[in-house]
Amino acid sequence: MTPGRMAVRRFARSRLSMVGLAIVVVMALAAVFAAHLAPLSPITQDYNALLQPPGNGHALGTDELGRDELARVIYGSRVSLEAGVISVGLAVAVGVPLGLAAGYLRGAFDEVVMRIVDAMLAFPFIILALALAGVLGPGFTHAMVAIGIGFVPGFVRLVRGQVLAEREKDYVAAAEASGGGVARILFGHILINILAPILVQAALSMSFAIVAEAGLSYLGLGVQPPTPSWGSMLRTAQGYLSRASWMAYWPGLAIFLAVLGFNLMADGLRDALDVKQQL
C-alpha cells in the first residue's frame, strides 16, 4: 500500500478527524452555494420585522434592521472561508520559498531573513495583524494582506527548520552531485519531503485566520457593511444583548464550529502524515 493511501486510512479511522472534515465540508458548501441555501437576502432590510426572535418566517430571527440572521450567517461563511484561503495562501506563497532559500543557502541571506522574522515574531500575531490593518486601512483585501503577513514568520521558521534537517541527507547530496540546480533541489526534492508539516501548519492557520478576520471585522477594520461577516455581526449584537441575545448566538456558534473543524482536521492530518507511524 502506498504511503498516501496509508495516510488516508489513518485519517479516516479517527472519528474526531472525520468530524472536523465534515464541519469544514459543510462550511465550504455553505460558502459556495450561499445564494441557493439562504432563504432571504442577507442585506435586505425589513422594518416590519425588527429584532424578531427565531421563528415566524425567520429560523434564526432578525437583526436591528430586520435582516434575516440565517442568511447573514450563511453568507458570513463565505467571507470567513475566503479569509482563511486567501491569507494562508499568501503566507504559504511568501513564507515557504523564503524558508527554503534561507535553510538551504544559509550565510548572509539566512541571517537577514531570520532577523526580520525574529523582529516580526516579537509582536503577538493579533497585535501585528491589527497594526498592519490599521496602517493599510479598513477593507477585506487589506485585512487579508495583514493576516497573511502575520502568518509569514511562522511558515518561514517551520520550513527553514525542516530544510536544515533535510539538506544533510543523502538524497540531497546525490541531487547536488548530479548537477541539479538550486531551484530543482529545493522544489523538486526537498519541498516534496517536507510537505506534511506545511499542510498541517496551513490547516491550523486557517482556524487562526477565521478568528483574526472576525476580530478585525468586529473592530471595523475588516469587511465593511452591508456585507455580512461573523465578526461584524457580533459587534452589532453587542448593543442588543439584553433585548435580542440571539443576534450574538449564531455568529458566535459559527465561529466556534469553524475553528473546531479546522483544528480537528489539522490534528488528524498531523497524525495521518506522521512519518513515524509509517514505519
The amino acid at residue 265 is: M
Look up the pTM and report it: 0.89
pLDDT tens string 47-92: 888 999 998 888 899 999 999 999 999 999 999 999 999 999 999 9
Which residues neighbour 16 within 8 Å (Cβ) at sequence distance 6 or greater? 264, 267, 268
Tell me, yes or no, whether 56 lies in a domain.
no
Tell me, yes or no, whether 50 lies in a domain.
no
pLDDT of residue 169: 86
pLDDT of residue 271: 86
Backbone φ and ψ of 68, nearest 5°: -70, 125
When divided into structural domains, the chain yields a total of 1
What percent of the chain lies above the pLDDT cut of 70? 97
Determine the number of helices (DSSP H) and then strands (DSSP E) in the chain. Answer: 14, 0
Tell me, yes or no, whether 52 lies in a domain.
no
Contact 216, 133 (CB under 8 A): yes
Does 279 score more than 50 pLDDT?
A: no
Using CA atoms, how far residue 112 sits from 46, 90, 99, 149, 167, in Å, is 57, 21, 12, 17, 20
Which residues are registered as beta bridge partners of 62?
68
pLDDT tens string 183-220: 888 888 889 889 989 999 999 999 999 999 999 999 88
200 versus 176: the higher-pLDDT residue is 200
pLDDT of residue 55: 84
pLDDT tens string 266-278: 999 988 887 555 5
CB atoms within 10 A of CB 274: 15
Tell me, yes or no, whether 93 lies in a domain.
yes
* Cα distance between residue 276 and residue 279, in whole Å: 6
Alpha helices for 106-138 (secondary structure H): 107-121, 125-136
pLDDT of residue 193: 87
Tell me, yes or no, whether 253 lies in a domain.
yes
Confidence of residue 171 (pLDDT cuts 50, 70, 90): confident
pLDDT tens string 116-127: 999 999 888 888
Tell me, yes or no, whether 68 lies in a domain.
yes
Tell me, yes or no, whether 48 lies in a domain.
no
Which residues are registered as beta bridge partners of 55?
58
Tell me, yes or no, whether 186 lies in a domain.
yes
Q: Which domain holds residue 123?
A: 3-37+61-278
pLDDT of residue 1: 60
* Cα distance between residue 190 and residue 153, in whole Å: 20
CATH code of the domain covering residue 132: 1.10.3720.10
